């Protein structure tokens, strides 16, 4: 290179200038002992990689999402309840007032019902002889097994209660599950197994539970059969769109909105689409959810929704760009993360009074309707 074209040497920079700005703390964890508890492990030992992200998720959950001014929505994918996570985690979280509204797959709700009806599921192992299971009418969900009669009995339960007069009308899924929860609460008491169903717990605490795909579960299959009988029960998914948007509109107008996403799929999208519904479709001024915690084992580069990051969601208006530091994605199995997050939250935060949003859905939806009508009066579509 010609001497006069040589690049000038950059001024040397030192780590001491940058590290104080980017370091949270030195890595110097305490030794794990037989007495180490969940809080000590999460705060002192879960430092880096996905352990570090789980620590951050726990801290955002407790310090921000469970604050008095925040309304927390929880999305549940897959089938977590057969593994007992409804009993061990969801019921305690709901009873502590830590969950204000829920979007779940129908599978979680259907299998939750088994426990309320006094039916048993069993821990086993993967790799069983599935042909032998079929011959003995045993159902397998990975390493969970149970009697095929559980399905038949649960089907009978739904067909029986949904033939009753209270169900002979058009309902949103939250209203439908609230009615179901009343029956499950009664059945839990009858069989002597209280506290087994998170749907029953949500009924007691007034927590609305929505299903993003009401036809995609055994519950929907049984409702379809009742329709062939002449049942007047109709599920209105568009009512769900407006009611979920109304909850988020209320949360962001009165305080902050947090979303806690376990897995991905349709429940995740249905929870996050509330903000584009408010901003893009209804044309109301909003910035996005304030807090976003996601537990997923899906990668974002495969095109699947489950791994989509908070930053990507921000481009859609789903997450407020000013609050990106209050978002975290932890690439971890929900069955590992949820018990740890539940224990941490219960240890670090006193119970909250239930907001009973199920009772306020008509009121909140009316406020959204009024805001939309006012916007339309000032701007033609």
Instruction: Map residue 261 onto helix, strand or coil.
Output: strand
| Burial zone of 48 (CB within 10 Å; 0-12 exposed, 13-18 middle, 19+ buried) | exposed
* Pairing between β-strand 122-123 and β-strand 144-147 as defined by DSSP bridges: antiparallel
The sign one gets for the Cα dihedral 309, 313, 315, 321 is negative
Catalytic residue among 268, 318, 366, 367: 318
Q: How many residues does the chain have?
A: 381
Rounded to an integer, what distance in angstroms lies between the CA atom of residue 208 and that of residue 330?
Answer: 26
Rounded to an integer, what distance in angstroms lies between the CA atom of residue 343 and that of residue 346?
Answer: 5
DSSP 8-state symbol, 319 = B
Which has the closest alpha carbon to 344: 23, 45, 77? 45
Rounded to an integer, what distance in angstroms lies between the CA atom of residue 214 and that of residue 220?
Answer: 6
Rounded to an integer, what distance in angstroms lies between the CA atom of residue 283 and that of residue 96?
Answer: 35
Active site residue 318: yes
> Can you state the angle between helices 173-191 and 357-378, rounded to 10 degrees?
180
Instruction: Map residue 104 onto helix, strand or coil.
Output: strand
Looking up tokens 């996050």 gives: 272
Residues carrying an active site annotation: 318
């Amino acid at each position: 290179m010609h001497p006069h074209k040589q690049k000038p040497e950059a001024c040397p920079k030192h780590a001491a200038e940058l590290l104080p700005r980017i370091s949270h703390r030195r890595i110097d964890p305490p030794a794990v002992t037989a007495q180490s508890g969940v809080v000590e492990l999460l705060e002192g030992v879960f430092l880096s990689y996905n352990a570090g992200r789980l620590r951050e998720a726990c801290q955002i959950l407790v310090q921000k999402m469970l604050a008095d001014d925040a309304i927390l929505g929880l999305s549940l994918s897959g089938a977590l309840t057969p593994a007992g996570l409804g009993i061990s985690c969801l019921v305690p979280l709901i009873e502590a007032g830590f969950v204000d509204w829920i979007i779940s797959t129908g599978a979680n709700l259907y299998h939750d019902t088994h426990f309320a009806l006094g039916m048993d599921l069993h821990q086993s192992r993967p790799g069983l002889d599935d042909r032998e299971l079929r011959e003995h009418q045993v159902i397998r969900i990975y390493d969970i097994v149970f009697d095929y009669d559980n399905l038949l009995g649960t089907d009978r339960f739904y067909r029986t209660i949904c033939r009753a007069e209270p169900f002979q009308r058009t309902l949103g899924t939250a209203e439908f599950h609230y009615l179901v929860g009343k029956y499950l609460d009664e059945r839990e008491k009858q069989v002597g197994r209280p506290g087994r169903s998170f749907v029953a717990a949500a009924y007691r605490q007034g927590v609305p539970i929505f299903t993003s795909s009401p036809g995609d579960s055994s519950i929907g299959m049984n409702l379809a059969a009742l329709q062939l009988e002449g049942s007047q029960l109709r599920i209105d998914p568009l009512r769900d769109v407006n009611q979920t948007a109304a909850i988020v509109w209320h949360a962001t107008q009165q305080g902050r909105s947090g979303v806690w996403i376990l897995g991905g799929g349709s429940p995740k999208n249905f929870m996050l689409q509330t903000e584009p519904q408010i901003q893009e479709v209804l044309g109301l001024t909003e910035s996005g959810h304030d807090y976003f915690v996601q537990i997923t084992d899906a990668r974002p580069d495969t095109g699947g929704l489950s791994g989509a990051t908070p930053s990507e969601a921000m481009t859609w208006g789903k997450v407020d760009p000013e609050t990106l530091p209050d978002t975290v994605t932890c690439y971890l199995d929900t069955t590992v993360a949820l018990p740890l997050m539940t224990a941490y939250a219960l240890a670090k935060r006193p119970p909250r009074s239930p907001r009973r949003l199920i009772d306020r859905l008509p009121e909140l939806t009316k406020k959204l309707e009024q805001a939309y009508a006012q916007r339309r009066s000032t701007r033609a579509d």
